[in-house]
Amino acid sequence: MNNRRGRPALPDDRGESPMMEQHKTSESPVDVSIVVPLHNEEDNVGPLYQQIAEMIDAQSLTYEVIFIDDGSRDQTVPRMREAMGDDRRVTLLEFTKNFGQTASLAAGFRHARGSVVVPMDGDLQNDPNDIPSLVAKLDDPPGWDIVSGWRKNRQDKLLSRRLPSIMANRLIKRLTWTTEIHDFGCSMKAYRQEVIEDVRLYGEMHRFLPAICKWRGARITEQVVNHRARVAGESKYGLKRTFKVLLDLLTVKFLGDYLAKPIYFFGKVAMMAMAVSFLSLTWAIIQKYGYLTEHGQPVMLNNNVLVLFAMMTFLMCVMFLMIGVLAELMARIYHESQDRKPYKVRRVYRGADRDETNAA
């Protein structure tokens, strides 16, 4: 496994002091970083830490665990501190307020030192014993970048959780062309560090992370994981969150297809508006000469609402074209200001000495 350390600044993690950043980079890297967001899980953090610790103790790889408290209002932080004690493998980040699961994962990814990063839920529904098999599968041929968990036997309520999830998964798979994944909502995944180190997360984008990485060339596969019924605490998911996910899906679809050339999107819409304008005007002319009208009576152009509609849609066509041009300019400014290459190299093979080097 390749250990890489560079980190981009994430918008959800601006509160680090230079001293904390220096301390983090001075620590030695580990093989696997486990990232666990927490929100009002006071009854689950103790058993969760115990299960993760037992799993780590049985492994030969080096692990670290990063818990992120996302503005809990119960005793999650005190109980987590009591459970972790002086275990140097564990880090607890406490947010000032509830920023959401995506922000929690962004902070965890920012602090992770492992060459492999494995996020998981903090409600005991994910089984920590699945982590070693997910990590091991990354090295299976042809060499995977992401192994996504699949809760094939999901232990959740049908109407409020499973049915909306099934519908959302099918829609996401169709729109993002990520056919390798059945369960986008499963938090437990194994990522190679290099595929997520320069990805920015916001909104509810964490569930689309595999699709975003695939668009940048990542190799994705899936593995069935154990899923357990919730025994304590309350679920943070519901139908209200499904609506937010659908809105973010529209953003992800646009970014995936049109981020580099937004004029293509707005140009298509402009051409549709132009076609509607042309058809409306054509129909108005036909009506003027008495064709296809009742009793063959003509309809004068100055009294035909279709002429006004044609003018409006023509103006919409012009507006969409102008918006497309402005979006193109903004896209150019974005890419140049990011100073990020428009490509990503997987490896470099050198013929002289046959060295193989990983490259970002």
Torsion of CA 171, 38, 86, 113, to 10 degrees: 30
The yes-or-no verdict on residue 44 having pLDDT over 70 is yes
Query: Which CATH architecture describes the domain 18-257?
Result: Alpha-Beta Complex (3.90)
Tens digits of residue pLDDT in 161-174: 677 777 777 877 77
pTM reported for the whole predicted model: 0.70
- Estimate the crossing angle of helix 163-176 against helix 239-258, to 10 degrees: 10
Please give the pLDDT value at position 343: 58
DSSP for residue 130? G
| Share of residues in the chain with pLDDT > 90 (%) | 41
Confidence of residue 133 (pLDDT cuts 50, 70, 90): very high
Annotate 176-197 with three-state secondary structure.
HCCCCCCCCCCCCEEEEHHHHC
